[in-house]
Amino acid sequence: MASQPGFTVFFVVALLNFFGSVIQGVAGIGDAIFLQVMWAIAASANKAFEKTPLGTESVKVVALIMYIRLLFMSPLIVYLGLSDSIFSKQMVIMMAIPSTILSVVGVWLLPYAPDKLLKQLLAYSSFFFAFVYGCILVKNQYLKSSQLAKIKEKNIVITEESDAIKKEAQMAQDPGLMSMHASFVMNTPRGDILSNRGGKGNNDNHNSALNVSQSGMNSSQQLSNGSIIIQHVAQERSSQLQNSFTFPRNNRSFVSGHFSNNNYAGSVTTIDPDTGLQEGTTEAFMSTTGGGIFSADEARIPHPTEDNAPPLSPGKLSPLATLTYTRVRINRNLDENGKIKMTTKIGAAVAASVAGIMTSLTGVNAPPQIIFILLFDAPNYIVRVNFSAQSIPSNVLRFILGIPNGLFSWDQIPLFLDVVVFGFAGVVVGNHVGRMLGPNAFNYFVLCLLLLSALSMVTKNLYFLVPCVVFTAVTTVGFAYYENKQSKAKVDEQRVQELEIEQRVYDVYEDLIRNNNSFVGPGVLQGARGPLQPGVQPQQ
């Protein structure tokens, strides 16, 4: 019979839940696996952890703790993330229905599943997901190397993203050039601009256009052709101002060969299967942190049309992520209507379904979700709120069904209060600290965490497990420090330059509005983003 827990148990439960939440905030994943590993170690070190009201079986104990953590913390994560992430009602429903059904199945199975079986399930699944994760990383690296080779074969110029932004920042400091570029974009249909953006078959047209233009306009069009920020911000601002001005031009926007009256995020494009870039691309860009290769048109400002789509800003980026490449990742997951692609939603539904039954049986839900994120290269801006929101029905049903199944009792309440209070405290600290793991350190941390989870289920040898935990913690911190030292200064500089470029473009268009005010009449300072005021930072 379970005895009332002593101070040691309460202290350890508080400590584990606090640091579990901090890890979740800093790394984005890992609280459930951390709790499974550390509870297994604690139970092996002190028999008091096998005599608590939560039960004697370590996997079930952590599963119950996660039931309570998720029940209270998922709504908090959704609330905190609504201003940072896209919310798609369709995506949430597609994930929630199968996830909830499988979660209910897991809750009914949990009382009848022996601890040995649950440990085997968690061990084998952790090994499996670690293997799959490693294979995907190797495959992605191989595909990237092959892509680079094919791009070089086709004589496509590759420029590092940070170098391209640095050049644009220098061009943006020329007020004369920026003013001419603004006039050029405002008075030229977007189709004419994009049709001259290099391709092997477009060089003659491009050169003839340059010969016809004046010298200032030549520089402006050259800026449009090679830009990955200025051209997109200028085209967006131009389309917004068409609501305030009357110009002798077609107000429709041109998107990759198709006219549209909507400034949507996606586009209809033809992809070269060899390079993975749009056909006709003559210059490609490599992300600053080496994450991928993209074309200039992929860096357009995304305009999601989902139920909630807050503006993307630097404060919402992952560690070592740039505004430009994050836009690329978002655009690759949006269709031509600005909706999250159906393939992305289906992949998320599969991941949520597996996570649902895994959470009910073991409390661990991260592995299938991180596999999905890696496969689809979906940024937090797309997945954070949706994954948390879809789990709310499952979390509520787990708790409700767990009561008649004998999973919960009154004497567990003090420990659950311990879980909730210190779990919330860890969330606050974790959110304050923010994400600290770069992409490579994150991949390393995920693999180590999954292997630790598996090892803690197959052995109770503390002389082996404790050094493994310490090694993982020390090497992950060291890896993160090294990666930040290598890239953070460059990324921070680029983020500043990205905002400066966009501010200069907006300032130019504000001047253009003021200069044309006498021709249009009062009220023209009201743009699509609201009243334009000098010195106001544009929202992106």
According to the 3-state scheme, what is the secondary structure of 251-285? CCEEECCEEECCCCCCCCCCECCCCCCECCCCEEE
**pLDDT digits 0-9 by tens, 165-178:** 888 888 777 777 77
- What pLDDT, on the 0 to 100 scale, is given for residue 188? 56
The full set of domain ranges for the chain reads 7-142+339-489
Q: What angle do CA 83, 88, 89 make, to 5 degrees?
A: 120
Q: Which amino acid is at 111?
A: P
Could you give the CA distance from residue 70 to residue 382 in angstroms, rounded to a whole number? 20
| Position 156 pLDDT exceeds 90 | no
Closest CA to 197 of 187, 209, 183, 186: 209
Instruction: Report how far apart the first and last C-alpha atoms of the chain are (Å, whole number).
Output: 59
Tally of helices (H runs) and strands (E runs) in the chain:
18, 7
Residue that wins the pLDDT comparison between 165 and 430: 165
Choose among 471, 478, 469, 474: nearest CA to 34: 469
Average pLDDT over residues 234-239: 66
52 strand-pairing partners: 55
Prediction pTM value: 0.80
Given a contact cutoff of 8 angstroms between Cβ atoms, the answer to whether 24 and 432 are in contact is no
Q: Report the pLDDT value the prediction gives residue 434, as an integer from 0 to 100.
A: 65
The pLDDT tens digits of the residues spanning 467-481 come to 999 999 999 989 888
Please report the pLDDT score of residue 315 as a whole number.
Answer: 64
Q: What is the pLDDT of residue 539?
A: 41
**Residues 474 and 143: beta-carbon distance below 8 Å:** no
For residue 323, with 0-12 CB atoms within 10 Å meaning exposed, 13-18 middle and 19 or more buried, which class applies?
Answer: buried
| pLDDT attached to residue 48 | 86
Rounded Cα–Cα distance for residues 165 and 228 (Å): 8
- Which residues contact residue 393 at a Cβ distance below 8 angstroms, ignoring those fewer than 6 apart? 96, 100
CA distance 443 to 461: 27
> Using only C-alpha atoms, what is the Rg of the chain?
27
